């Protein structure tokens, strides 16, 4: 057989040669340094036979980061071996540890275990020590192919492996990877030996996880780890992780009294507290103003709908796993609303439409309900009831590009208002092999072309993700990187030729005939719950003045200054600013500390001098630290704060 090197040179090798054979053919030093390879752009290990005629590139000790997913997955096997040895040292017999799946993931890896006794968080450092010992033994990873019968014999004691093996084809060889006395069912690929693995890793946490994600199955213990090619990368990641913990929206939501989730109300159903409601209302006010300027009309739809509505739209069939069960009422079936769009289609259809009426832009902050598994719920970012900043535009085909560009402009404006300027744009298209999509190929091609043309017209860099489209149409997603480097998918715009057909909605054209409108679905925030959760973490709870639920704390130095403080509060409140007086019996420093902990952006301190001059001393929280000013005329400060509020700063 022969393969081709990056420079185009042909390398002749024995039949069924591996990447290690290729490295040895080039030179013994390369074979010693080689860790992995790519074959036709796909990561492969040194032990797997290469395809005939493959374009190959070798990965060495100089660039292990190019094989991150491989060394992370190899660390999963080291972790599993370490867990075996950890429980053997406790006196448990061989076979006591059973294993589910263990993939590499972004920044690290995890492995699911069925253990004779649960691991504790405090066990992780000791387990990590066993892993480092295994790496120090420099054990070879050995790849072998076995029959299905042999695989079942080896793993007969492990029901999870038996289940996985049972689903594999009978006539194809199954691969095992072995290091030392540890063997696992695995497709690979892996590093050649444990001693070649980077030691920049750390076990971080454990959690429960249903086997294969189903609540009907046993709960396994999942052990998480992070791993990088260098200690510098690991240290930087751990530092970001600590920062993320400080910014955790669940922690800050509790401390700043923004929201609560009460088990008596229900899992995944957040209750908005007064501070959180203020924040949410500022967001909706901001977007409503933008929508008003762009010709949107507000609508309101119920939180429940007839089941036939969602069958017609396709949401009942295509989202069956995430819909709540139907409710029978008066011999009819109803369902908690999973989407707003079918309701908006029926509003469009409520009267005849002319080509002169289009575009029709209907907007709603509509609450929808999705069934999420308990283990997937997470504060505000994964809930069962949430409010979408939903709008649907019904337009003529010749209006589509202009409307799409306007929505694109609106979404970019929304994100930039919150300092979310590091954005990448992802076009979700149909998977050619997928079966979930509705509508004609012609409509899908037209919709995908329109999105790509619009994005290219404004010069935005984008990637195409086949299979990421909704069942009714392609979409443009906005993926935002926050201040500590995490990515979030926020706003979305979708082009839809199919729901208008499914509901048979039309408009009368200039020629007097019926024509089919095109729909644009859009949600710049995505959902208010998720957006607020991300916003809390993006700002770390230090909201700009216009968003802060508690904008101004007025702190009298002594009781004799309380009346003056209250006078200022009334004036600020009348002007539309949120101000409060701390007239508690605490000392001034304690009052300042209290306002600091509550992340109030502006503190006004008043004493004898300020009262005499109708002035204030100002202490502000800024990204750079505290900023203090003394003897500021109150009238000037009020004007300044109002300008900042209305400029949304």
User: How many Å apart are CA 291 and CA 340, to the nearest integer?
Assistant: 17
Return the H-helix or E-strand segment holding 274. helix 274-293
395 among known catalytic residues:
no
Catalytic residue (choose from 341, 361, 550, 582): 341
186 among known catalytic residues:
no
3-state SS class at 462: strand
CB-based contact 473:437 (threshold 8 Å) = no
591 among known catalytic residues:
no
Catalytic residue (choose from 112, 158, 184, 390): 390
DSSP 478: E
Helical H segments across 167-263, by residue range: 231-247, 249-255
649 among known catalytic residues:
no
User: How many Å apart are CA 630 and CA 557, to the nearest integer?
Assistant: 14
Contacts of 392 (CB under 8 A, 6+ apart): 340, 341, 344, 345, 348, 361, 362, 519, 520, 521, 522
N-term to C-term CA, the chain: 66
The dihedrals phi and psi of 155, each to the nearest 5 degrees, come to -110, 25
CB-based contact 464:496 (threshold 8 Å) = no
Looking at 473-598, which runs of residues are DSSP E strands?
A: 475-481, 487-496, 507-508, 514-515, 518-523, 552-556, 579-581
Catalytic residue (choose from 475, 522, 569, 621): 475
Catalytic residue (choose from 190, 353, 361, 521): 521
C-alpha gyration radius of the chain:
30
User: How many Å apart are CA 260 and CA 251, to the nearest integer?
Assistant: 11
The dihedrals phi and psi of 432, each to the nearest 5 degrees, come to -55, -25
Helices then strands, counting H and E runs in the chain, come out as 20, 33
What is the strand order of the sheet 552-556 is part of? 579-581, 552-556, 602-606, 615-622, 625-633
Give residue for tokens 């979700």.
428
Catalytic residue (choose from 388, 494, 551, 611): 388
Distances (CA, A) of 579 to 561, 568, 586, 590: 16, 9, 19, 18
Query: What secondary structure, in 3-state letters, does 574-598 show?
Result: HCCCCEEECCCCCCHHHHHHHHHHC
Catalytic residue (choose from 161, 247, 370, 638): 370
Neighbours of 21 (CB within 10 A): 18
3-state SS class at 406: helix
CB-based contact 504:362 (threshold 8 Å) = no
Q: What is the largest CA-CA distance in the chain?
A: 95
Catalytic residue (choose from 161, 343, 353, 392): 392
561 among known catalytic residues:
no
List active site positions.
341, 370, 388, 390, 392, 475, 521
């Amino acid at each position: 057989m022969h393969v081709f090197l990056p420079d185009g040179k042909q390398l002749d090798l024995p039949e069924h040669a591996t990447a290690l054979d290729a490295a040895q053919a080039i030179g013994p030093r390369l074979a010693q340094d080689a860790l992995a390879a790519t074959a036709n752009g796909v990561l492969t290990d040194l032990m797997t036979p290469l395809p005939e005629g493959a374009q190959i590139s070798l990965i060495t000790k100089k660039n292990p980061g190019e094989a991150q997913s491989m060394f992370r997955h190899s660390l999963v096997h080291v972790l599993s071996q370490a867990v075996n040895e950890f429980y053997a040292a406790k006196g448990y017999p061989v076979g006591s540890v059973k294993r589910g799946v263990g993939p590499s993931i972004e920044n690290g890896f995890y492995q699911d275990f069925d253990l004779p006794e649960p691991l504790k968080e405090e066990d992780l450092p000791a387990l990590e020590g066993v892993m480092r010992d295994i790496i120090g033994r420099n054990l070879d990873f050995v790849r072998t192919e076995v029959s299905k019968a042999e695989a079942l014999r080896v793993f007969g004691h492990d029901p999870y492996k038996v289940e996985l093996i049972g689903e594999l084809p009978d006539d194809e060889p199954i691969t095992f990877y072995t290091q030392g006395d540890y063997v696992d069912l695995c497709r690979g690929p892996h590093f050649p030996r444990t001693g070649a693995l980077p030691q920049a890793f750390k076990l971080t946490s454990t959690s429960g996880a249903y086997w294969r994600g189903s609540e009907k199955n046993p709960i396994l213990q999942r052990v998480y780890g992070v791993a990088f090619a260098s200690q510098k990368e690991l240290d930087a990641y751990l530092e970001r992780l600590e920062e993320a913990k400080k910014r955790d929206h669940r922690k800050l939501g509790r401390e700043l009294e923004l929201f609560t989730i009460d088990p008596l109300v229900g899992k995944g159903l957040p209750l908005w507290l007064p501070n959180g409601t203020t924040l949410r209302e500022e967001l909706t006010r901001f977007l409503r103003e933008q929508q008003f300027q762009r010709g949107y009309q507000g609508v309101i739809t119920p939180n429940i709908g007839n089941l036939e509505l969602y069958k017609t739209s396709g949401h009942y069939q295509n989202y069956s796993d995430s819909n709540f069960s139907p409710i029978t009422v008066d011999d009819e079936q109803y369902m908690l609303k999973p989407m707003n769009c079918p309701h908006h289609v029926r509003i469009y259809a409520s009267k005849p439409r002319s080509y002169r009426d289009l575009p029709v832009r209907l907007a709603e902050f509509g609450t929808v309900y999705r069934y999420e598994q308990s283990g997937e719920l997470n504060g505000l970012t994964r809930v069962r009831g949430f409010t979408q900043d939903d709008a649907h535009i019904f337009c003529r085909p010749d209006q589509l590009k202009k409307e799409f560009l306007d929505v694109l402009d609106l979404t970019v404006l929304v994100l930039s208002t919150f300092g979310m300027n590091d954005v990448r744009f992802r076009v979700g298209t149909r998977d050619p092999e997928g079966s979930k999509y509705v509508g004609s190929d012609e409509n899908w091609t037209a919709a995908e072309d329109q999105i790509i043309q619009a994005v290219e017209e404004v010069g935005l860099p984008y990637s195409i993700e086949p299979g990421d489209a909704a069942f009714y149409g392609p979409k443009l997603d906005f993926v935002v990187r926050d201040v500590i480097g995490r990515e979030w998918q926020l706003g979305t715009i979708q082009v839809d030729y199919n729901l208008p057909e499914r509901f048979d909605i039309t408009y009368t054209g200039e020629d007097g005939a019926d024509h089919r409108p095109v729909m644009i679905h859009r949600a710049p925030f995505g959902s208010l719950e998720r957006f607020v959760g991300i916003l809390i973490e993006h700002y770390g709870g230090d909201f700009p003045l216009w968003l802060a639920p508690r904008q101004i704390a007025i702190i009298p130095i002594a009781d004799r200054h309380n009346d003056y403080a209250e006078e200022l509060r009334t004036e600020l409140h009348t002007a539309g600013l949120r101000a409060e007086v701390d007239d508690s019996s605490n000392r001034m420093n304690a009052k300042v500390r209290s306002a600091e902990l509550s992340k109030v952006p502006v503190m006004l301190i008043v004493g004898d001098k300020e009262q005499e001059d109708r002035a204030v001393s100002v202490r502000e929280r800024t990204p750079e630290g505290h900023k203090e000013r003394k003897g500021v005329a109150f009238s000037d400060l009020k004007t300044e704060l109002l300008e900042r509020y209305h400029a949304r700063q």
